[in-house]
A and B are shown apart, each in its own frame.
Chain A
């Protein structure tokens, strides 16, 4: 955990436990199950409201979702780089493909 010391963390957690009992407030664990659907735009208006309410009130889930999105963005970037992946044409492979085409 962070260097901030254990007491504030414990207090945060107690606060969280109480917060989860408020109407429309879901636990982080329930929030987790909605992340994909939220990012895919699959949640209805009420579900979106509940999801975003948790996000507003919970720093842990905000940090988590932010890192999740950054990781996802980095992964997606791996596909947009076709030219740089291969600077030179693999001559052996070209020859093999063309040889197979001829016979």
Chain B
């Protein structure tokens, strides 16, 4: 049917696309269900991988998310785009799995915070000609390199940065998902970004990691 179903549910004809997808899912017809799964599995796996880091856990999270989507499609009210609704589900399923994963291979967040002298004056090297993000992103493996550095952050900080800056949840949404205060989200977000700045400095200064 050429089905007009696009991965970007936020396009101008988003509602029609979403309506078609919802009808498809409710009907449970195998071939269109498979088309739906194929269309969305890629970005969902990318989201889950960014959150849980481990590919096997990420696949589990996506499987759980699809089970949830099939279960709850009757409750989808169309208040948001279908993709946004699905995004929240895969984020939540990934967070649930993440709580069970224990890690020790992280950097110390305190060691990567900015430093000041006794007068409150910052220590910061001057950079003659830093690389621009645009130029850096032309390198094909740049996103993987950046993600590799983000992955080094302790989970309590990493997850805030991933949800706010990469998955683009609001501060309130992150606070709700993690059951912490918005003030706490902001404090951790800034510390996570400050640490990432230190980790990415060699790249931005053009020295490689």
A21 to B196, CA, bound (A): 31
Docked-complex contact B190 and A36, CB < 8 angstroms: yes
The reply to whether the CB of A30 lies closer than 8 angstroms to some CB of chain B is: yes
Known contacts A67-B204, A75-B150; decide if A29 and B120 are in contact (CB<8 Å): yes
Known contacts A93-B63, A94-B38; is A78 also within 8 Å of B120 by CB?
no
CB distance from B169 to the nearest CB of A (A): 11
With an 8 Å Cβ cutoff, the count of chain A residues facing the other chain is 53
**Cα–Cα, bound, A27→B46 (Å):** 41
The smallest beta-carbon distance between B126 and chain A, in angstroms, is: 6
For the complex, give the distance between the alpha carbons of A40 and B190 in Å.
11
Do A79 and B166 have beta carbons less than 8 Å apart?
Answer: yes
A59, CB-defined interface residue at 8 Å: yes
Do B43 and A82 touch (CB < 8 A)?
A: yes
How far in angstroms is the closest Cβ of chain B from A86? 4
Chain B: residues with Cβ within 8 Å of the partner, total of 60
- Give every chain B residue within 8 A of A70 (Cβ-Cβ): 130-133, 197, 200, 204
Give min CB distance, B89 to chain A, whole Å.
Answer: 13
Binary contact track A62-95/B, C-beta < 8 Å → 1, others 0: 0110111011111111110111111001101110
Q: Does A32 lie at the interface of the complex (its beta carbon under 8 Å from any beta carbon of B)? A: yes
Out of B45, B67, B123, B136, name the residue touching A86 (CB < 8 Å): B45
A: residues with CB less than 8 A from B are 1-2, 4, 13, 16-17, 20, 27-32, 35-37, 40, 58-61, 63-64, 66-68, 70-79, 81-86, 89-90, 92-94, 96-98, 100-102
* 18 other A-B residue contacts (CB within 8 Å) besides A60-B122, A70-B132: A13-B119, A36-B190, A37-B186, A58-B122, A67-B200, A68-B197, A70-B131, A70-B204, A75-B166, A77-B137, A78-B50, A82-B7, A90-B42, A90-B59, A96-B63, A97-B37, A97-B41, A97-B62
